[in-house]
């Protein structure tokens, strides 16, 4: 099946139209990997997505996600992936923010943004204003930190287990007990000299090996 995709020239023309339609939004765009990427100011994101929906036919918000760049002053990218079914085109809108500055929520433009915003707030710690429900959705209520940040430790801060004595689930600080264990890095195939059930065969093979002469002194 042959699927039509817009050319880079078509995407460039679309980007110019979006910028011309939203002159006060301080937009810029780039075409990369067959997709149009628009960078916008976070203060105009609601107006921009409204224009993309009403004027350009991008009715669906497929995903709202984040990206973390700790070396930047505004370390987070808030990424909005849009789809136009009628045009068979995708468009990505990116705004930047820091850990404290709120980004206006777009749930008034796309109702599905309620779900995606909860995920972004949960795993990245993004601050989205005018959002009525920011409860955790992927991590537990007692979870500390945001696991998708680049500076989040691989082991986390707490670990959870079922305590048989208390008959309850308990949270405890992560204990790196494996650091003090002795690890044998020998391959299991090298370590196993006799498979279960082959003891007699192995003993017979050893008996067939001629004794080695003792070294002369």
Domain segments of the chain as ranges: 8-137
CATH code of domain 8-137: 3.30.460.80
Output the pLDDT for position 186: 56
The pLDDT confidence band at residue 192, using thresholds 50, 70 and 90, is low
pLDDT interval class at 173 (50, 70, 90): confident
Query: What is the per-residue pLDDT across 59-83, written as a single tens digit (0 to 9) for each?
Result: 999 999 999 999 999 999 999 999 9
The pLDDT tens digits of the residues spanning 175-191 come to 766 555 555 555 555 55
Contact (Cβ atoms closer than 8 angstroms) between residue 58 and residue 35: no
Q: How far apart are CA 69 and CA 75, in angstroms?
A: 5
Mean pLDDT of 104-123: 88
171, 159 contact by CB (below 8 A): yes
């Amino acid at each position: 099946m042959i699927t039509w995709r817009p050319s880079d020239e078509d995407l460039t023309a679309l980007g110019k139209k979006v910028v011309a339609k939203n002159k006060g939004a301080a937009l810029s765009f780039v075409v990369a990997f067959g997709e149009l990427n628009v960078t916008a100011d976070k203060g105009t994101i609601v107006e921009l997505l409204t224009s993309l929906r009403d004027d350009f036919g991008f009715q669906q918000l497929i995903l709202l996600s984040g990206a973390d760049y700790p070396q930047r002053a505004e370390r987070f990218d808030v990424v909005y992936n849009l789809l136009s079914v009628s045009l068979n085109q995708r468009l990505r809108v990116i705004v930047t923010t820091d850990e404290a500055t709120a980004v206006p929520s777009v749930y008034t433009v796309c109702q599905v943004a309620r779900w995606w915003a909860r995920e972004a707030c949960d795993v990245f710690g993004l601050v989205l204003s005018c959002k009525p429900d920011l409860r955790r959705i992927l991590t537990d209520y007692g979870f500390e930190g945001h696991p998708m940040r680049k500076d989040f430790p691989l082991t986390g801060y707490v670990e959870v287990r079922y305590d048989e004595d208390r008959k309850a689930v308990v949270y405890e600080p992560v204990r790196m007990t494996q650091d003090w264990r002795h690890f044998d890095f020998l391959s299991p195939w090298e370590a196993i000299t006799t498979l279960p059930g082959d003891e007699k065969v192995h003993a017979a093979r050893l008996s067939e090996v001629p004794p080695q002469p003792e070294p002369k002194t």
